[in-house]
Structure 1
Amino acid sequence: MRYMATYDLMETIRNTNQWLGATAQAFGSYPATGLFPSPLFQMLAAWGEVTERSFARMVAKPDWNIDTIVGDDGRDHVVSVDVDKAGDFGDLIRFRVNGRPEKQRRILLIAPMSGHYATLLRSTVKSLLPDAEVWVTDWHNARDIPVSAGKFDVDDYTLYIADYMQELGPDIHAIAICQPAPLALAAAAYLAEREPDRQPASLTLIGGPIDPDAAATDVTDFGRRVTMGQLEELVIQRVGFKYAGAGRMVYPGLLQLTSFVSMNAERHTQAFRDQVLAVAKGEASDNDRHNKFYDEYLAVMDMTAEFYLSTVERIFKDRDVARNVFTVNGEPVDIGKITDIAVKVVEGENDDISAPGQCLAALPLLTGLPDSKKAAHLEPGAGHYGIFAGRSWRNNIRPLVLDFIDGNTRAVRKRGPRAVNEDAGGPTPV
């Protein structure tokens, strides 16, 4: 499958279905169809509308759509999204709330690179902005990155995270959600040993596969069943001629989406049937529950082949982080070197992606960290999405995380354009 023609064929199929949907909507919406006493044309137009929107969203990066936040003064404050640090494979972006005093809490949200854009954390960002300054890792779609930019694997991902932590200084509190949890832990250990005066104050790990073998799921079972050679042959393709990354080896977003949908095919099929009926009856809206969910869910991005394959091999198969034998560009990273970064683990009782126990495996690895700086929370009845963006996050987990952050905030005094970590005694650029 490692041919540009295969990638272009998938894009052609997607584009054709988008065109068919738009055509069906236009045909079923002709005024003359009102002369026929049959719901056929309404159903055709409805099917076309849902189909066209679905296939169009697959290649569109969603907007953050965070325009204003209510401040402590009760007024709406405009939110701007600024790029604090640009990179070939990702940017460090800041959500700047204009017209309010800067908050003491400073949070770095480490977004997953697992098929969806960082906008998957939109509701998480919105929930934190009223009480904190928020930065997010905004990963780029691999299809848009020229081959000349080079490789991007788990080593590069880890160094990106470490670089962002250094950029934000010793008073930053990192929150890693899902896929980046093991690599965020490795990045923290990397800094703890090499740049202790620039390590984050705390690290919260939410639903991540620190040790995939701690509790089996469909995801971990798949990783065990399939060999690396099979994966490389079945899912890796070269970006086609349409995009700037033409020729780059990737795990295509469209192929990832096929896997996502197949895991709950019956539920997704029923959701689309219901939406077609709702549109035909005039009961749907542009921002109804279905569209808000699927506009995000269907928007997928390509991952570089080396990142996907090295993640499967080193995190899931060889369990480098779980066995504390992880390396970055050949240099050992000892998680036991973390002695001053408070670590909290959050899991969902009904998480079927990263089951309870997988993320909790981080705490025994922290042999150099006192128990007073370790914490864990298992949210009853919560699934994977709920522990970082759903009701469980808003009502229960978010307050606990903010309390954990407040209890582990370092004293940092300002000196012009530099900040000093009073606990470590060293300067850190900010």
Structure 2
Amino acid sequence: MYYQFYELNHAALQPARAFADAVKLLYSNPLNPMSHTPIGRTIAAGAEMFERTTRRYGKPSFGITETKIGFDKVAVSERVVWKKPFCNLIHFERDLPKTRKADPKLLIVAPMSGHYATLLRGTVESMVQHAEVYITDWTDARMVPVAEGRFDLDDYVDYVIEMLHHLGPDTHVMAVCQPSVPVLSAVSIMEARGDRLAPASMTLMGGPIDTRRNPTAVNKLAEEKGIEWFRDNVIMQVPWPEPGFMRNVYPGFLQLSGFMSMNLDRHIIAHKDFYMHLVKDDGDSAEKHRDFYDEYLAVMDLTAEFYLQTVDTVFVKHALPNGTMRHRGDLVDPTAIRNVALLTVEGENDDISGIGQTQAAHDLCVNIPDDMRAHYMQPKVGHYGVFNGSRFRSEIVPRIVDFMASIRAAESASGRNRASSLPRADQPKTSSATRPTVPTTSRQMAKGV
């Protein structure tokens, strides 16, 4: 009933929110003389604070309409190219000259952990300058009717494989945080099957491959509580009149509460500063606060089966590093990966996925040649800084771009078509002498040398 009470409380506050919004408009209207006084700005600031802290934030838009390639500005448009009940695949289509050499395709697998894919807007903005970018736009589970069926971790892996098949050869995949495990699983399965459409490379960023390494507060909570506690305490049914009425979900507002409680003092200070910026008429600082929290506070529900299976597999049983993870009954074997290059990226101050948790992928993928793998740890960034922000743009993006380009160049130099001539995964391990070799300078760059 907790979800129903949450909805009832939100509905009950609707008249108060409407009144607060009207007060804000009245006391911030430049035609009102009070709006130019400290008293007027204080009243408007208080009204806006109340409205913002009691509203439900809707799904933001990417809003990427152009990018800069070289010295030219290029128009960008969004197009859904693949669709399933729980996910749309969005292509950020660039208006490029037909004579331009084709860039590699990059599939960005966004986290399905409470926030929308738009949380990776900065990631997309940076990578769209260098690649044909596609991103997984996961659907809020409360908006999916029960008649559409279940969605669990196995379905997530299947979705990734289907999307890679849809995109075809010369595709690279990037997993940000939570998707690192299902993406690594999907690539393992594709290689074990000898799938010719396995990606050219995979980049895993701040992902929980092995949460036993430097466990964070999030990791410890999952291990201490156990899966039964989560099933009994955080799984709820979507209330009427939402399209997903009666679907069992892990509500987004619970996930958001957990994230905010980890740094509650920081959020309180941010809102206090926001209030003072409004009173002092510091519009730029106030707008930055709005932009960040409009994104951060927009959350989505997850299906109960996906959430519980993920917690149990990744955080409680550590199934992937223990070699016991299964997909549709078949063992997931990362040692089957021989042809897909691997780059892992971590943040020095990551409090969600500790240092070493993502790097653990290298210990599992033992059959990837040394010249097709790299690891980079970005100093002075937390979890968010691994995929967004100034250090991401200046330090991490060039390494990812260079790594993908090196793999592509090495395969071109070998004079082979990867999609048709790579050895099958069931063949003996290929010696480094017969593999495309990544240039040494590129490997050094990715490793941060």
Q: Kindly indicate whether the alpha-carbon contact (under 8 Å) linking 2:89 and 2:135 is maintained by their aligned counterparts in 1.
A: yes
Q: Which moved more, 1:115-124 or 1:91-100?
A: 91-100
Q: Among residues 60, 65, 80, which one is paired with 1:67 in the alignment?
A: 65
Q: Kindly indicate whether the alpha-carbon contact (under 8 Å) linking 1:254 and 1:300 is maintained by their aligned counterparts in 2.
A: yes
| TM-score (norm: length of structure 1) | 0.90
Matched, 1:162 2:181: no
Change (3 A) 1:36 1:169: closer
Q: C-alpha displacement at 1:138, in angstroms?
A: 0.7
Task: Name the structure 1 match of 2:95.
Answer: 98
Give, as a single letter, the amino acid of the residue that structure 2 aligns with 1:63: S
Change (3 A) 1:38 1:99: closer
Alignment of 1:32-47 (within 5 A): 39-47=38-46
Q: Kindly indicate whether the alpha-carbon contact (under 8 Å) linking 1:192 and 1:338 is maintained by their aligned counterparts in 2.
A: yes
In structure 1, distance between residues paired with 2:88 and 2:35: 54
Q: C-alpha displacement at 1:322, in angstroms?
A: 1.5
Q: Among residues 82, 86, 89, which one is paired with 1:89 in the alignment?
A: 86
Give, as a single letter, the amino acid of the residue that structure 2 aligns with 1:89: F
In structure 2, distance between residues paired with 1:36 and 1:406: 55
Task: Name the structure 2 match of 1:348.
Answer: 347
Q: C-alpha displacement at 1:51, in angstroms?
A: 3.2
Alignment of 1:14-413 (within 5 A): 15=14, 18-19=17-18, 21-22=20-21, 24-25=23-24, 39-56=38-55, 58-72=56-70, 74-100=71-97, 101=100, 103-285=102-284, 288-409=287-408
In structure 2, distance between residues paired with 1:71 and 1:401: 17
In structure 2, distance between residues paired with 1:213 and 1:352: 14
Q: Kindly indicate whether the alpha-carbon contact (under 8 Å) linking 1:235 and 1:255 is maintained by their aligned counterparts in 2.
A: yes
In structure 1, distance between residues paired with 2:192 and 2:90: 26
**SS at 2:242 equivalent:** coil
| TM-score (norm: length of structure 2) | 0.86
Q: Kindly indicate whether the alpha-carbon contact (under 8 Å) linking 1:24 and 1:47 is maintained by their aligned counterparts in 2.
A: no
Q: C-alpha displacement at 1:71, in angstroms?
A: 3.2
Task: Name the structure 1 match of 2:447.
Answer: none
Q: C-alpha displacement at 1:165, in angstroms?
A: 1.3
**SS at 2:212 equivalent:** helix
Q: C-alpha displacement at 1:336, in angstroms?
A: 0.8
In structure 2, distance between residues paired with 1:66 and 1:286: 22
Cα deviations across residues 364-422 of structure 1 (Å, max 9, x unaligned)? Answer: 1112222222211111222111111122211111111111111212758xxxxxx9724
In structure 2, distance between residues paired with 1:360 and 1:250: 31
Stretches of structure 1 lacking an aligned partner (at least 5 in a row): 413-418
**SS at 1:196 equivalent:** coil
Q: Kindly indicate whether the alpha-carbon contact (under 8 Å) linking 2:274 and 2:285 is maintained by their aligned counterparts in 1.
A: no
Q: Kindly indicate whether the alpha-carbon contact (under 8 Å) linking 2:339 and 2:422 is maintained by their aligned counterparts in 1.
A: no
Change (3 A) 1:33 1:391: closer
Cα deviations across residues 294-329 of structure 1 (Å, max 9, x unaligned)? Answer: 111111111111111111111100111111221112
**SS at 1:135 equivalent:** strand
Change (3 A) 1:179 1:15: farther
Give, as a single letter, the amino acid of the residue that structure 2 aligns with 1:226: K
Give, as a single letter, the amino acid of the residue that structure 2 aligns with 1:67: T
In structure 2, distance between residues paired with 1:253 and 1:70: 35
Q: Kindly indicate whether the alpha-carbon contact (under 8 Å) linking 1:203 and 1:342 is maintained by their aligned counterparts in 2.
A: yes
Give, as a single letter, the amino acid of the residue that structure 2 aligns with 1:80: S
**SS at 2:319 equivalent:** coil
**SS at 2:84 equivalent:** coil
Q: Kindly indicate whether the alpha-carbon contact (under 8 Å) linking 1:93 and 1:135 is maintained by their aligned counterparts in 2.
A: yes
Q: Which moved more, 1:305-314 or 1:28-37?
A: 28-37
Give, as a single letter, the amino acid of the residue that structure 2 aligns with 1:98: D
Q: Kindly indicate whether the alpha-carbon contact (under 8 Å) linking 2:57 and 2:294 is maintained by their aligned counterparts in 1.
A: no
Cα deviations across residues 126-160 of structure 1 (Å, max 9, x unaligned)? Answer: 11111111010110111110101111111111111
Cα deviations across residues 25-66 of structure 1 (Å, max 9, x unaligned)? Answer: 25756999967998555323212123324544x331101011
**SS at 1:198 equivalent:** coil
Change (3 A) 1:289 1:4: closer
Q: C-alpha displacement at 1:228, in angstroms?
A: 2.1
**SS at 1:108 equivalent:** strand
Q: Kindly indicate whether the alpha-carbon contact (under 8 Å) linking 2:227 and 2:316 is maintained by their aligned counterparts in 1.
A: no
Change (3 A) 1:358 1:37: closer
In structure 2, distance between residues paired with 1:278 and 1:88: 42
Q: C-alpha displacement at 1:20, in angstroms?
A: 5.8
In structure 2, distance between residues paired with 1:19 and 1:66: 31
- Percent identity, aligned pairs only, is 37
Q: Which moved more, 1:197-206 or 1:13-22?
A: 13-22
Q: Kindly indicate whether the alpha-carbon contact (under 8 Å) linking 1:83 and 1:92 is maintained by their aligned counterparts in 2.
A: yes
Q: Kindly indicate whether the alpha-carbon contact (under 8 Å) linking 1:103 and 1:131 is maintained by their aligned counterparts in 2.
A: no
**SS at 2:89 equivalent:** strand
Give, as a single letter, the amino acid of the residue that structure 1 aligns with 2:59: K
Q: Kindly indicate whether the alpha-carbon contact (under 8 Å) linking 2:198 and 2:340 is maintained by their aligned counterparts in 1.
A: yes
In structure 2, distance between residues paired with 1:332 and 1:263: 35
Q: Kindly indicate whether the alpha-carbon contact (under 8 Å) linking 1:102 and 1:133 is maintained by their aligned counterparts in 2.
A: no
In structure 1, distance between residues paired with 2:307 and 2:244: 17
Q: C-alpha displacement at 1:291, in angstroms?
A: 1.3
Cα deviations across residues 204-249 of structure 1 (Å, max 9, x unaligned)? Answer: 1001000011111011011122132221222111111132111111
Q: C-alpha displacement at 1:22, in angstroms?
A: 2.0
Cα deviations across residues 157-194 of structure 1 (Å, max 9, x unaligned)? Answer: 11111111121123101010101101110010011112
Q: Kindly indicate whether the alpha-carbon contact (under 8 Å) linking 1:411 and 1:422 is maintained by their aligned counterparts in 2.
A: no
In structure 2, distance between residues paired with 1:156 and 1:10: 34
